[in-house]
């Protein structure tokens, strides 16, 4: 029985090390994302803020997923954690897509309202 747990314990140790390495990479990526977004035309707009918020949420969800995965006791736990994560992320994706569509439409309408179209005779 103890031998059966060795692969899971080894996997947990590897996952814990990976979490620390990935956290640094994710933080660097997020900093890059923030700097990049501020240089785009939609930086500081509702659309830009939604993009930033969704990125923060998705990164936090990934951190939590890896943390839970590192604490899995057996394959059944791994499958349950993976299933819950996928269900949550699919729901979040649907909601984020809807919100981004609405924000994008509003941004386009606002831009169109500010720039009058000239009709040529």
Residue 120 in domain: no
Residue 103 in domain: yes
Q: 117 φ, ψ to 5°?
A: -85, 135
Percent of the chain whose pLDDT exceeds 90: 19
Residue 121 in domain: no
Q: What is the rounded distance in angstroms from the CA atom of residue 59 to the CA atom of residue 29?
A: 10
* Residue 97: both structure tokens together: 């897509």
Overall domain count for the chain:
1
Residue 118 in domain: no
Judged against a pLDDT cut of 70, whether residue 68 lies above it is answered with: yes
Residue 55 in domain: yes
In 3D, which of 120, 14, 8, 27 has the Cα closest to residue 66? 14
| pTM exceeding the 0.95 threshold for the entire prediction | no
Q: How many angstroms separate the most distant Cα atoms in the chain?
A: 86
Q: How confident is the model at residue 43 (pLDDT cuts 50, 70, 90)?
A: low
Residue 41 in domain: yes
**Which residues have a Cβ under 8 Å from the Cβ of 106 and sit 6 or more positions away?**
46, 47
Quote the domain boundaries for residue 11. 2-113
Residue 92 confidence (pLDDT): 94
């Amino acid at each position: 029985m103890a031998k059966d747990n060795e692969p899971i314990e080894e996997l947990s140790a590897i996952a814990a090390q990976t979490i620390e390495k990935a956290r640094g990479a994710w933080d660097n990526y997020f900093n890059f994302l923030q700097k990049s977004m501020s240089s785009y035309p939609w930086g500081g707009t509702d659309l830009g803020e939604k993009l930033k918020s969704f990125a923060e949420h998705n990164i936090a969800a990934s951190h939590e997923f890896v943390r839970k995965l590192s604490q899995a006791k057996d394959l059944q736990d791994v499958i349950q954690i993976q299933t819950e994560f996928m269900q949550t992320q699919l729901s979040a994706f649907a909601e984020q897509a809807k919100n981004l569509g609405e924000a994008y439409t509003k941004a386009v309408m606002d831009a169109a309202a500010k720039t009058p179209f000239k009709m040529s005779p």
